[in-house]
Amino acid sequence: MKEIPIVDLYPQHKKLKKDIFKKWKKLCNSSSFVLGSEVSDFEEEFASYCGAKYAVGVSSGTSALHIALEALHCRNRNVTTSPFTFIATAETILHCGGKINFKDIEKVYYTINSDQVASSVSSSGVIIPVHIYGQGADMDSIMKIALEKNLTVIEDCAQAHGAEYKGKKVGTFGDAGCFSFYPAKNLGAYGEAGCVICNDRELADLMKRLRAHGSKDKYYHTEIGYNYRIDALQAAVLRVKLKYLDEWNQARAANALLYSKLLSETPVTTPKIRPGSTHVFHQYSIVVPKRDALSDYLGRNGIGTAVHYPVPLHLQPAFSFLGHKKGDFPVAEELSSGCLSLPVYPELKDSQIEYVCEKIAEFYEKKG
């Protein structure tokens, strides 16, 4: 059996490179590399795909979160989010002068626990629900809390391109939805890129100014902004790939279904899908006993794995000033100690999934 990496980007590149290189050649001939029509066309197409009115292309998922927080005036406000996510979700809160308020996650779906949010979140604050691994948070409950307590809602959709919650795309429930197009994402660029979607014209215009040094017209600046512009080469890649996103998401879901079926007789806890929602499986993450030993065993058998995420944010040295300790968010801590991501990319073959599952079963048979 040939080695199975945790992610393999080459099959997509091989399939699409002719169309992408054609667009790149046109861009090179026009020498229009930053913003321009390729970017505006992508923004229009991505907004339409999500069911939003506006999209603002930026340089990364991190910059998407940052300008959304800035544009929605989150400075000096309490911002509630999950400790089980990539660090960008929380560090951007600090970059814009907000105050981090972690709440634990649900045991079954791994998204923020809305009951904890409801019982403790302050009025006129901010909440960033993270649609982790490719599944939407409990947006009915979150939006109900937001309405009652006058909360700003910024959705972190970095892992959930195309995921739906009760028939509506994630990113369109709150005030803004933030996406990363890092190459390994379900919709990935050939480098760094990101986007914010929203339904407010004034908010979209402000974020467009903020991404370009606070400027709408060159050399005239109405705000203190940033250099967060998306380049046209990445927008061109994303325009080609967007046409295939639903097909790739369906393939990921089919791979996940096969994994869950084959692993049903093992000690593995497989992902659960929230009723009424779709899961696009950016990651297929299982929870297992003897996680590190299993990962090592699979690696020695040519199977790539990853841990998303080994240390929850409240226990990261970078956030030690918040004063959290082990035990503060037990569900996030338990997940961090037992989660293991398996290969789930769209081009994965059934025979490869069967091999991965055979090796997992073999490991537990040997270890008892």
> What's the pLDDT tens digit per position in 43-97?
999 999 999 999 999 999 999 999 999 999 999 999 999 999 999 999 999 999 9
Which of 34, 69, 57, 58 shows the shortest CA–CA distance to 228? 58
Can you tell me which residue has the tokens 């406000």?
77
Element (H, E) at 196: strand 194-198
Contact in structure between 79 and 230 (CB atoms under 8 Å) = no
**What pLDDT score does 30 carry?**
84
Percent residues over pLDDT 90 in the chain: 93
CA distance between the termini of the chain? 25
> Which of 5, 85, 16 is closest to 245 using CA atoms?
16
Q: Is the pLDDT of residue 32 over 90?
A: no
Predicted confidence (pLDDT) at residue 112 exceeds the cutoff of 80: yes
Q: Where are the alpha helices (DSSP H) in 131-263?
A: 139-149, 201-210, 232-242, 245-262
Identify the pLDDT of residue 1. 62
Name the CATH topology of 245-367.
Aspartate Aminotransferase, domain 1 (3.90.1150)
**Domain 10-103+110-242 carries which CATH code?**
3.40.640.10
Q: What SS3 class is residue 321?
A: helix
Distance CA 192, CA 88 (A): 14
**Amino acid making up residue 285:** S
pLDDT digits (tens, 9 = 90+) for 143-179: 999 999 999 999 999 999 999 999 999 999 999 999 9
What's the sign of the alpha-carbon dihedral 253, 259, 264, 267? negative
Residue spans of the domains in the chain: they are: 10-103+110-242, 245-367
Greatest distance between any 2 Cα atoms in the chain = 68
- The model's pTM: 0.97
